[in-house]
Chain A
Amino acid sequence: MFGLKPDAALELPENYYVLDDYEKGIARWCDGCGDHAVLASVQKLCREEQLDPVKTVFVSGIGCSSRFPHYMNTYGFHGLHGRAFPVACGIKHRRPDLDVFVITGDGDCCSIGAGAWIHAIRYNVNLTVMLFNNEIYGLTKKQQSPTSRIGTVSNTTPRGSILPPLDPMQVTLGVANASFVAQTADWNPAHMHATIKAAHAHKGFSFVHILQRCPIFQPELVNELTSNRDNICYLKDDNGITVSEDIEKTFKHSAPHDPSDINGARQLAASEEKIYLGLFYQGKNKENYDDYGAHNLGVTVEEKTAMLNAEFDKYGI
């Protein structure tokens, strides 16, 4: 290794992971797709946190974004459309040692998977969840999504969609036991990275709503979001998502917000004036369903046999 003496190498941690260790294959997303940026950020997070690839699992549904696990050199579960949450909860339930991430799209999460999504928030299992919201169905080629704005022209709404969009932030903040709810944008890599990192550090269902670019099916929206700095507002708080001063300066607007204030968070989410980026809400000491799942691991065969024999005694003749 570049002239390093073997004894010098010993000073490195036994297994120091580099970015390469988390990369697999070539991501087959379109040029300019926001998914590339998220992938890079997540791989960087893995290296920064030195996550053991063998103990890390990426779970997804179906969609362009849900291809994500195939590009991570970790364990992965690319399952069914809308069903990443139950699978991820099942994986984590008896494996507290695994670090589990969920990748889901706006159709995957907010439409077909809406039921599972709501309940997953309530279970508050220790998962890092990234919702890739491009406000459109990508994989199936441009149909409206529940998060599409009114007037979205798509292949199923050629004259423009007519219903108001569902806001994933308001929904999540409305569910009992919500514990970490943040919003970021893929075209601000520094903010996105800080957000994902904070989400990963949180114990519980850490929900990161990522505004994600789809330049192929939503070019005008991408243009509007990325060029109009008036709309976007940075949420500033010491307990929130913090970025360097340089990055902070890239925001035209910023506003204070205490992330322990859930009502304030709901108001921000409901605001039609601005899109706020940052940590909306973080609740501590919430019930984690996976704590229950793992509470009785390791019962031995002898103990099970004794327990069953006691049952047979009860039912014995």
Chain B
Amino acid sequence: MSVTTELKEKVTQKGNKAIRLSEHIVEIVSDSGEGAQKCGQSFASISAKMGNGVWTVEIIPAEIQPPARTREGASGIRIRIGSEKVTNMGNEANLVVAFNEQVPYGRIDQSAYTEGTIMLIESKWAEEASDSIRESYAEALKDFNERGYEVIEVPMEKECLKLVKNPRKGKNMWVLGMLCEIYSRDIGRAEAQIKQIFRKKSDTIINSNIDLLHAGYKWAKENLDFEYEITPMELDEQLVVMNGNEAVGMGVIASGMEVCSMYPITPATSASHYLADVFESAGGVVHQAEDEIAAVGFAIGSSYSGKTAVTITSGPGIALKTEFLGLAAMAEVPLVIVDVQRGGPSTGLPTKVEQSDLLAILYGQTGDAPKIVMAMATIEECFHFVILARKIADSFRTPVYLLTDANLATGQQPFARPKIQRDWFAPPVDQSPWKEGVTPFNWDPETGLSKRPIPGQSGGIYTLTGLAHDTKGKVSYNPDNNQKTSELRSKKLATFKRTLKPPTINGEESGDLLIVSWGSTLGSIEEAVGLAQKEGLKVSSIHLRFLSPLEPGLKEIFSRFKKVMTIEINYSDKADADGITEDNRRYAQLAWILRARTLVDVDCYSNVMGQPLSPKKVLREIKQRINK
């Protein structure tokens, strides 16, 4: 039964109990600054705390103050709630709360709604003094009805005015109350949530927001004829819920790193905001440098003289850091670089998701600059990968890059509460005497590994240089030395690769189509592949976490499938586009690498629409490719 028919039945059978759903997708859209995100995040937290699976995606306009009541200004959040674990943003929304009639168009442009989507819309615009506003409101409502949405007008501000002077400010908590009633959420938890988010505010403010919450709840109870229930999971373990940037920040603390050196850039900044708030009590400091070049230079200086440091940035910042990152590879300075990817090139789409930095990260330096690159697929991995990256950086004496993206950065998802382990934390800075006879670049010929001296260690004196150097760290222009030391630095990747296992295959070990993916698309792709498998299609998928060196065994896995393709969020030419031939087609970023690595004719689907991929889109691509 579709939601629409369910709703219709419900509306005609007043007084029934709540409808049980396995999942629902809720969106709250507003002008920016109206608190829709705070409302949605709270709703998500409450739901997660009740034991539901949750995934959120923020809807962010590119400007801080876009014009009000415009489609470009659509700001808000999507929350997908389920009875099971939720791994992605899903397809079209089931229920939308809209603060005006224009902002939904920003989402309609992205095919976010469909026939049957319930739209709870602020009704005050019908009574605006301005003719044009009243008209556009009436027009939009007519259009929404024609599109098949279930439109319900809600007097949000009018109701809020009964309690507060400025309803624009408190409306979001009133809406939270309304949603809590619709979805049978525990109002006590909602109160606690409000106390948590306004903990730095006065009691008056907290109480006023709690009053609004109850008012919204009451209004929904009295005026709406439907109620839902999404059965929570049986939780047998403790969970935490947070967004990807907070998870990165906590990962930094848990890794034992003590210096985060950064320059503000969307969508990476909030990780540093989080750290700035709490890092000091864990013995850490955030350094906001004068630019990204200085940020990475500071981090490298800090690593050189002590514990491995981290720098967190996004595409344009990576571009500026390039020269220093080459130095880190050449001089073998351990360093963790987090790249929260956004749309590029240049300033691109600052608030939107893309997976476009892979090639820049892999090949951004001049000369050969081997490095280890990992990509997180979930919020949970945002936490754990930082810890792993720090360890790898230390043991392999190398920069380690972590690729996350705007989707993970702002998305919230519950995951198992980490059980903190002692060995996650970096050991104290080694100040014991350096072993006599050991050079500062005492490369092991088999593995390329060596241990670094740290200033303060007696007997370890050396001058780090980005110039070609020998085992003593001495500048050397000797041809054989440069050939040999390049081989040794490269060898570290081969050594590291031996510690990796081939990726696990989601589905059958062989078949018609293999999807290869990386990063935040994991949830959507596995959901789509699961649906396709249920329909009997012979499709499987693998998801890569290590991109340099690549996980082993790929060629052999590929050989068991008739077709192999990547699905990514970056640019590629469509094979059948005008003027595109086999000779000039440009592939998606991972596809290029896989083609080069395996010599398999790996195809790809990718786009740069600034949106996370929906399972529906992925499923469509699977069907198209498999039938070709």
- By a beta-carbon cutoff of 8 Å, the part of chain A in contact with chain B is 53-55, 57-59, 69-70, 72-80, 83, 85-95, 97-98, 115-116, 118-119, 292-293, 295-299, 301, 303-305, 307-309, 311-312, 314-317
Evaluate whether A311 and B290 lie within 8 angstroms (CB atoms) in the complex, with A57-B455, A301-B425, A304-B256 already known. Answer: no
A54–B458 CB distance below 8 A: yes
Which of B77-85, B363-371, B412-420, B596-604 is the interface stretch?
Answer: B412-420
- The interface residues of chain B, by DSSP majority, are classed as mixed
A308–B254 CB distance below 8 A: yes
- By a beta-carbon cutoff of 8 Å, the part of chain B in contact with chain A is 48-49, 51, 196, 235, 238-242, 246, 250, 253-254, 256, 258-259, 261, 278, 280-285, 287, 289-291, 293-307, 309, 323-324, 327, 414, 417-418, 420, 422, 425, 455-467, 474-475
Could you jot down 16 A-B contacts, CB within 8 Å?
A55-B455, A55-B456, A57-B305, A75-B460, A76-B463, A77-B301, A78-B463, A83-B294, A86-B295, A90-B297, A94-B259, A94-B307, A115-B294, A116-B294, A295-B280, A315-B246
Measured CB to CB, the closest approach of chain A to B304, in angstroms, equals 6
Nearest to B467 among chain A residues (CB) is A78
**Contact for B239 among A72, A90, A119, A317, CB less than 8 A:** A317
Q: Which of B291, B298, B305, B324 has the most CB of A within 10 A?
A: B305
A164 to B620, CA, bound (A): 65
A115–B304 CB distance below 8 A: no
B302–A75 CB distance below 8 A: no
B278–A304 CB distance below 8 A: no
B420–A308 CB distance below 8 A: yes
A87 to B250, CA, bound (A): 25
Kindly list chain B residues whose C-beta atoms are within 8 Å of the C-beta of A55.
455-456
Nearest to B238 among chain A residues (CB) is A316
A221 to B509, CA, bound (A): 77
Measured CB to CB, the closest approach of chain B to A214, in angstroms, equals 22
Measured CB to CB, the closest approach of chain B to A152, in angstroms, equals 28
Measured CB to CB, the closest approach of chain B to A51, in angstroms, equals 13
**Contact for B253 among A59, A293, A308, CB less than 8 A:** A308
B282–A304 CB distance below 8 A: yes
A86–B289 CB distance below 8 A: yes
A309 to B289, CA, bound (A): 30
B283–A89 CB distance below 8 A: no
A87–B298 CB distance below 8 A: yes
A231 to B50, CA, bound (A): 81
A128 to B458, CA, bound (A): 22
A58 to B305, CA, bound (A): 12
B287–A93 CB distance below 8 A: yes
Kindly list chain B residues whose C-beta atoms are within 8 Å of the C-beta of A72.
463
Evaluate whether A316 and B457 lie within 8 angstroms (CB atoms) in the complex, with A90-B301, A91-B305, A304-B283 already known. Answer: no
Measured CB to CB, the closest approach of chain A to B232, in angstroms, equals 10
**Contact for A89 among B301, B461, B465, CB less than 8 A:** B301
**Contact for A296 among B51, B283, B294, CB less than 8 A:** B283
B298–A76 CB distance below 8 A: no
Apart from A54-B455, A94-B306, A115-B294, what are 12 other A-B pairs with CB-CB below 8 Å?
A55-B455, A80-B324, A80-B466, A83-B294, A87-B298, A90-B300, A90-B309, A116-B290, A307-B278, A308-B254, A312-B240, A317-B239
The 5 closest A-B pairs by CB, nearest first: A90-B301, A299-B283, A76-B463, A86-B297, A90-B298
Q: Which of B196, B294, B460, B475 has the most CB of A within 10 A?
A: B294
A308 to B281, CA, bound (A): 10
A70 to B464, CA, bound (A): 9
B254–A297 CB distance below 8 A: no
A79–B256 CB distance below 8 A: no
Nearest to B421 among chain A residues (CB) is A305
A53 to B459, CA, bound (A): 10
Evaluate whether A94 and B302 lie within 8 angstroms (CB atoms) in the complex, with A57-B455, A76-B462, A116-B293 already known. Answer: yes
Q: Which of A74, A86, A303, A308 has the most CB of B within 10 A?
A: A86
Nearest to A87 among chain B residues (CB) is B301
A261 to B106, CA, bound (A): 60
Kindly list chain B residues whose C-beta atoms are within 8 Å of the C-beta of A90.
259, 261, 287, 297-305, 309
